Amino acid sequence: MAMLYLKMKKRILVTGGAGFIGSNTCENLVSEGHDVICLDNFITGRRSNIEELLKSPSFHLIEGDIRIIEDCRKAVANIDIVLHLAALGSVPRSIADPITTNDININGFLNMIVATRDAGIKRFVYAASSSTYGDSESLPKVEDVIGKPLSPYAITKYVGELYADVFTKTYGMECIGLRYFNVFGRRQDPAGAYAAVIPKFVDTLMNHESPIINGDGTFSRDFTYIDNVIQINKLAMFTSNQDALNQVYNVAYGESSDLNELFYEIRKNLVSFDSKIASIEPSYGPFRKGDIPHSLASIAKAINYLNYSPTHNLKEGLKETVSWYYSNFEK
């Protein structure tokens, strides 16, 4: 069933709005005429991501922490819709520090949804995760078939889904969860020990070094370009389809590629800027704890309920992504 957009201007809170997905979504919402409030504590978000947005009278930054309920209550004042993206990502980081991951992703989530409820805001859209599928081996991944979590991070994201379901049924809220699958694109941070694979590969190759692939390179993922994610974020925020509410949706392209394919596609795109990269081959390291071998999403539910129509496959997204990195990072 196709959704209908609510066309009028909205006042939208985006938690984690200075992060990779958050800043791109904020930019798009502001460009469409909405007032956007960003709540971020800059643990993983970057001020440079919102530097241009801060010049707009339609964008407002609240520097605060979702672990502090008073910050959450301040942020939801006079808000129409909440898009809750703030979280501490990364499976390896959660394995190294499960307490902080739990504190931000579960306690912070609960603070935000309680503050949203208490402010009388109905629509609460939140970032879930494909890690929720855990040890389920079924492919493609469909929303109602999950396994046991394989990391503390996966546990925390699933708890968010459970809380959202209870808050919908108990308090009449309109909650929608979005299980993101390996999102990539402009502004994704290539630095740090927990950087995602695509910006890490790009950055390493731009420095004429050999990227390390965890395992033998045959693990596969449903890599999802940022513009597809922005699209479904908005569809979930603005849908008037009542059947779409209190649901969780896969956010992906619906195709999988293994890490070896990914490396060579990135290298091919970079060679058009720097021919020296053509001879660089990957190195291989140990498999990473908590990683599942393969991930491929069914996006049928999002298509049916939210009218989701992804615009970029992996190759199209990588072409734009590599161009952005080459233009914005010093070689």
Cite the active site residues: 153
What DSSP designation does 192 have? S
Token look-up 């390179």 returns 217
Q: 205 near 267, Cβ under 8 Å?
A: yes
Strand partners, 258: 220
CA-to-CA distance for 317 and 185, rounded, in angstroms? Answer: 7
The token duo for 330 is 């010093």
Burial of residue 71, with CB atoms counted within 10 A of its CB: 0-12 exposed, 13-18 middle, 19 or more buried? buried
CA-to-CA distance for 257 and 34, rounded, in angstroms? Answer: 36
- Helix/strand/coil for 106: helix
Q: Distance from CA of residue 70 to its chain's centroid? A: 25
CA-to-CA distance for 115 and 7, rounded, in angstroms? Answer: 26
CA-to-CA distance for 36 and 24, rounded, in angstroms? Answer: 12
When computed from its CA atoms, the radius of gyration of the chain, rounded to whole angstroms, is 19
Strand partners, 59: 36
What DSSP designation does 253 have? -
